[in-house]
Structure 1
Amino acid sequence: MRVAYVCADPGVPVFGTKGSSVHVQEIVRAWHRAGADVTVYCTRAGTDRPADLAGLPVVEIPPHRADRAGPVCGTGPASGEERERAIEEAAAALAEAVVRDGCDVIYERYSLFSAALAMAAGALRVPGVLEVNAPLIEEQQQYRQLFDRRLAEAVLHRNALAADTVAAVSEPVVRWVKQRVPEARTVLAPNGVNTERIRPRPRGRRHPRQLTVGFVGSLKPWHGVPALLTAVALANAEAGTDGRWTVKIIGDGPGRQDLERAAAGLGVEAEFTGAVPPDAVPGLLHKCDAAAAPYPQPVPDRDDYFSPLKVYEYLAAGMPIVATAVGQIPSILEDGRTGLLVAPGDPAAFAAALNRLAADAALRERLGTQARAAAVEHHSWDGVLALITESLAIRREVAWP
């Protein structure tokens, strides 16, 4: 079976360090384990290709501006409208490449302005999956810039209607798709984790005089890292000398300098690793005693749509986890069994959970062991892909290897 994986979003390098890049790579690996030959068609290949994907065929067609030869992610005078149109044109070129090469299934990661799935699946008459990870239209408007919303809505409608299955990572994303394309054939397919790539941490404390809580992710406002730093400062103010916490921030982003200043102002010892390749994340987590997902209080009248990769990775690494009970997290973590859940917007409660872990080594080990077991049993990428292909088979009456 030949699978064409399409990602027309220039903000998602296939071989990169972002969570979205990890997602692309893991779905490709899951297809490989299912016996498929995969070719990736993208606008940005990236430079951090892992060894096990060294032979993965990649067709890269960067979007170019109408007024000059150059990728839209570069600098220059092109307008926002021109950049959006360039992405649409690059997606059409990717679809042409898929049709030229041929395939048995098209699997597209939803990108603004890309109707590649609709174009290629219609021409080849093969089944298609549209994977939707976020309400990108609203996300783009709120956090970046969206110039042609009508085009973005029209492209989503075309692609979702053409897909045999629209795989959404959370119930809020399912609802978002259905509100715009009521006829879309959706399936809920939350994120997963590679439990072979991420192995369980060694047992025991990492340092006799301090503990380290780790965070993995981009340093952007919606990840709540300032609240984590505040919670650690509060925990340390109450802890004994052997129960003090340090912080390891694994990732990078526009908020890094502010966070470094905040940590210094709070007197919190914090290590910022910067962006690291996905293969480096497990080893860095293994140097920590716990892991944190400190998402903030939800914005009124907006669903928390995320299916957090970091939490699945914490589970696979066998980490005792402290997380805020927002969005999909209560459906992933069982309070007191695979993690400790606290209310969002309450650093004191987060601090109390950290001090509870600091005082109870047996609790840390029990939570970590049960977290790992949950990852293996319930959250593999193979299981995620099986959900998607099962729905596709039902709708297309096709057999899968």
Structure 2
Amino acid sequence: MTSRSILVSGASIAGPTLAYWLARAGWEVAVVERTDALREEGQNIDVRGAAREVLRRMGLEDAALAATTGEQGTVFLDAQGRELARFTAGTDDTSGPTAELEILRGRLGALLHDATAGDVSYLFGDQIAGLGQDAGGVDVTFASGREQRFDLVVLAEGVNSRSRALVLPDARKQHLGMYVAYLTIPRRDDDTDEWRWFVVGGGRGVSLRPDDVGTIRASVNLMSDTRGLDELDRSGQVIVLRRAFADVEQAAPRVLAALEDGAPFYLEDLAQMRLPTWSAGRVAVVGDAAWCATPVSGIGTTLALSGAYTLAACLAGATDHHAGLAEYERRMRPFVGKAQSLPPGTPRVANPRSALGTKAFGAALRVIGSAPAQRLGGVLGGIGSPPADQYELPAWPTCR
């Protein structure tokens, strides 16, 4: 390709990965990020299958393994704190609710940033405000007032991408009917190095996960038919969560106490992104902005890393950007389709509203977690059995 300059919007996971590979291919790469610095916050994420292979090819696998959260496995408990099932951490690229490579999102983002900082121009504290393209390039207007022309622009933003509507107005969200609030709380002496998932009924759940910095990454999830709770202000969201979890005795009280004390948190209305195309002219999308599968898929990081690598390989190996973007979409669409095809009833089955449903789910967990089932490989290879190893990365840089 004669086109060699590109702007990537988003400095989380997909953005720096794409920047790394295109810089390696000789492109002039700039990354814009609306926050003033790298985001250090974030929950535990796992790196499996194809994504782990991307880190290997980048020479980052050992560094990522050295920065894992130390999570030793997953334990499901009922509303009284009684154990329902236990799963040890995986010892390979794909198996187990707890992967072998569990890392904080901010930690992985820092590794990717540091691997690119010498070859990529980063612009923090700014964002795309306008896009205008013609046959020769894309004119970008930034919120700061700065203007610059690039050969290509890629939006590696989140599911609520602000720039996507500028070029892909037909993007559609498919809501899953569940809210999740994420926050960090103090670690206590009785905490463990396991992911403790409390099934408390009423369409609710509480998760406590260890990290490697001496705190606990907590989340509470709530099934609801009401949309827009994520648009309330902080106090409104806290009231909703306090009322929803007021009668939950296990784990929830300490989470609610942290919220009352002003702990920062993020409330997400889980939704998948459905786009008819992932590009328009010289502007493309990658990662959650393109295909968010939601955290319940268990494969979001795998899609981000493998998708960014694939896009870079297809652009680097193509004769023109049209061919590169078409090949990227041809390769990734089937994999994304599998990832978004959640098991029937997800996430309702794992967050039952009725007492009968809660009892049935607990019974199912006991069976799945039994020794005979685990000797047979179990049926909970990951939450939803993500097909993380069912994607073959293209060769670099030919995209074959």
TM category (shorter chain) comes to 0.3 to 0.5
Higher strand residue share: 2
Q: Which has the higher helix share?
A: 1
- Using the size of structure 2 for normalisation, the TM-score is 0.35
